Amino acid sequence: MKAYSNIIAAIDFTPSCRNALREAVRMAAASQAKLTAVHVMDEFLAHELKRALSTDLATVRSDWQDRLQKFVEEADLGAAAMELEVRIGHPFLELSESCRVHEADLLIMGAKGSINEPGRVGVIAAKCVRKAPVDVLLVREDAVGPFKHLVTCVDFSENSNKAVSHALVLAQQNGASLDCLHVYQSALAMSLDYGGLVAPMPMGTDAQALAVWDDEMVKFMAPFRAQFPDVEVKTLVIERVNIREAILDHVKDTHADMVVLGTRGKTGLRELLIGTTAEKIVANAPCSILAVKPEGFGKED
């Protein structure tokens, strides 16, 4: 798995995005990637400034380009090289277009939402996780320095394979440890989850099933361990009724500072991993989040 080569850092002039910009600089340096800092002006605000200042949009854009330059200079980033870009329009659409134009493979954003719900991910950030055509890293405002402990979620799908690869690259770059977690829902657990519509397995077979999944994890991780022998990797298989709660509990219990998610799962868990599970983790995880998109994402329509 190659490291990211072309990174977009979304800038909205908040403390949260300043921290995200610092992480973007660190990742770009570690991967020798191109970095572009992008600010999207609200279209209504841009036209109101144009009217109030009796000027044109080119002048308004130039003024905000200067503001962006000042913000970057005051972020204490050393001699980091990056391009600066100011766009006018809807933030999600313009960020997506910027990713396309620059052929980016990673979008980095601050995770913080409104002042009334500071622990929640912002609306635009959440939409980018769901729909942006590239991987998205949401950086928490309290993230400091290199990541120390990462968690990634394994369901043995192709996209899960990609997520583990990226998690290992980041763990290696940061000198971090990595937990690879598979949450197993037995038929008994699923019967509880689906209102008793699935016939439960006979009691006493779960230990055997868990042993099978442990073996699958060993096989799945073997090539990764060979490729990244210096990364401290721990594999875990746990049985829980609720997959998303199991992942969130593990993240909180281990004080992980990043969770890496594949945003699509294998057949059978597809609706969970596309929808409720991934979105609940993105909305509620107390740490930074890397959402890894499947190959061809955004090119399916």
CATH topology of domain 146-301: Rossmann fold (3.40.50)
Strand pairing class (288-292; 135-139): antiparallel
The token pair that represents 159 in the structure block = 């996209």
> In this structure, how many other beta carbons lie within 10 angstroms of the beta carbon of residue 235?
17
Q: Cα 276 to the chain's mean position, in Å? A: 16
> In this structure, how many other beta carbons lie within 10 angstroms of the beta carbon of residue 137?
27
The token pair that represents 244 in the structure block = 């998303």
From residue 192, give the alpha-carbon distance in Å to each of 78, 196, 249, 276, 279: 54, 5, 19, 17, 22
Q: Specify the higher pLDDT residue, 3 or 251.
A: 251
| Cβ–Cβ under 8 Å, residues 111 and 16 | yes
pLDDT at 197 over 90: no
Entry pTM: 0.86
**Mean pLDDT value of segment 264-278:** 47
Same fold, 1-141 and 146-301: yes
Task: Parse the chain into domains and list their residue ranges.
Answer: 1-141, 146-301
- Superfamily of chain region 1-141: HUPs (3.40.50.620)
Give 31-66 pLDDT, tens digit per residue: 899 999 999 998 888 888 888 888 888 999 999 999
